Each structure stands twice: as structure tokens, then as C-alpha cells.
Amino acid sequence: MNIAIQGIKGSYHHQVAVNLFGENIELTECQNFSDMPPLLISKKVDVVVMAIENTIAGAILPNYNLIDEYNLYIIGEYFLPIQHQLMALKDQTIYDIKEVWSHPMALEQCRKFFRQYPHIKLIEEKDTAEVAKMIQERNLSGIAGIASKKAAEIYGLNIIADGIQTHATNFTRFVILSAIKETEKEYFNKASIKFSLTHQTGSLAEILNIFRDNNLNLSKIQSLPIIEKPWEYAFFADMLFEQPDQFKKAITELKPIAYELKVLGKYEHKNSFLV
């Protein structure tokens, strides 16, 4: 199986790919999220692993647009606990470090830790694992990176501070994307949809009432502006339910109300964030 990820080996995307599909996979490494959907469409990869939201930083809004624009289909999800490690060459200590390079989100999630070390300058880079690789390949003294334990193992770096994220409950939700809508599974208990509404009083409330009346637990709702229609918004929603028929009935009731309705995926939620 060929899987596209954002970042390189040792990244959190790589960790999710391995956790889901095992070590015997072929990786296609992408610098940017926007590089991945065309690979699916052209059948150069089988699936994409894409981060969609974080419990601290919130939703990654551009990725919702990518899923919608390329008509990708969500076939699964994975919740990864994010544990940030500070790593450097093996002869370095925290007091040797002058700069820390990492992804902006990783730096932000560890900012409280670095208040103890005002001599350290924080530098934004594109990818956590890429920094670990650069430190190893260039033998960079005085430079540390923030990345996963897997990155430290792959690139032979020493972890000089473990679990430096500010909040212990730091999870990122990843979705698994396909270009092909799967044959409907016999059982699914979660779905993702996109819908748009007219400027009519109570229209959103009417939608929410349909979710309630069909016992759908709305686990996420996110509004995004419709670029070609100023001051109009599309809504992306995730919902949990016990039986597929509950979702099917709700969709039937939504169709006359929403002027655009797209099912982005139907899949099984397994509480993987508890693993």
C-alpha cells in the first residue's frame, strides 16, 4: 500500500500511517497538505493520511477545503496523542542549545516549557521530523528540534527533555482519505457531511433539530466561507450515532432544506483516542 503523508519518516503523520497500516508500507512524503489530493486523483497513492484538527490548536481549516475541492472520501479516522520531545545531537544538553527549530504548531504547544530558558530562540520550520533529519545530517550543534520519539530513533538524536507540551491532553485527529467512495459498509457509526443554507431565519436551527430528532450526536461543526459567495458559509459536520438507519433518515430530511448537501464519509468510530 502506498500512503501519502505530510512530512517525512518520523513525523506524526508517519506514526499514524504505521499504527494503522503497519511497517510494511510505501510512503510518499509531501511537504504541503495541498500536494496530497492530486496524488490520490492520479492514483499515484492508495490513501492519504491528513491531520484535520487538534485539541489545542483547533481545526485545520484549509484541509476541509481540500477534501471538498477534490471530492475526497473519508474512510476512517485516528486520534493520536501528541507527545513532543526536545532532541539534539548526543553530546548536547539543554544549556548548549541556542535555537529550537520546529513546526509552528509544535512550538506553540511547547511555549510554556521554553519560558524557563529565555536564552533559546524559537525558529519556525515546515516539519518536525525534517528538522530532526537536518540536525543529524548537518551535525548541527547548538540546535534542537521538537519532534516525536520515532523521529529521535530514526535520526539518532538524544532526547534532552521528554513530554514538553504544555497540556498533557493534546490529541490530533487524522482522517484517512480515498479518491474512491467505498462500497457502503454494513455497519458505520460516524459520518461527515458538508451542507450550505440560505439566509433564512432559523434554517440552521432546523438542521440541528433534525440531528437531535434522529439521535445524532453532533461531535463537530465548522463553518467556512464560500469564496465565490461573499458572506455565505458552508458547514462541515461530524456526527455519531448507534445505527446507520438513524443517519440515513436524517439525510433524507436534510435534503429539502440544504441547497447543497454532500456526504464526505461514513466510517466506524472506535474511540481510538483512548488507545
Domains of the chain: 2-82+170-178 (3.40.190.10), 85-161 (3.40.190.10), 190-265 (3.30.70.260)
pLDDT at 273 over 80: no
Give CA torsion, residues 151, 154, 157, 161, to 10 deg.
30
Q: According to the model, what pLDDT value does residue 227 have?
A: 79
- The H or E element that residue 249 is part of is helix 244-254
Pick the most confident of 108-122, 170-184, 220-234, 259-273. 108-122
- Tally of CB atoms within 10 A around 70: 17
Average pLDDT score over the chain:
92
Q: Find the range with the poorest average confidence among 66-75, 183-192, 216-225.
A: 183-192
pLDDT at 258 over 50: yes
**Pair 83, 15: CB distance under 8 Å:** no
Degrees to nearest 5, angle at CA 150 with 148 and 152: 75
Q: For residue 191, give Cα distances in angstroms to 97, 127, 141, 233.
A: 46, 30, 48, 20
Confidence category of residue 241, pLDDT binned at 50, 70, 90: very high
- The predicted-structure confidence for 138-187, as pLDDT tens digits, reads as follows 999 999 999 999 999 999 999 999 999 998 888 999 999 999 876 667 78
Q: Which residue has the cell 467505498?
A: 182
Round to whole Å and give the CA distance between 2 and 18: 12
- The predicted-structure confidence for 26-47, as pLDDT tens digits, reads as follows 999 999 999 999 999 999 999 9
Mean pLDDT of 188-204: 88
At 180, is the secondary structure helix, strand, or coil? coil
**How many CA atoms, within 13 angstroms, populate the side-chain half-sphere of residue 73?**
14
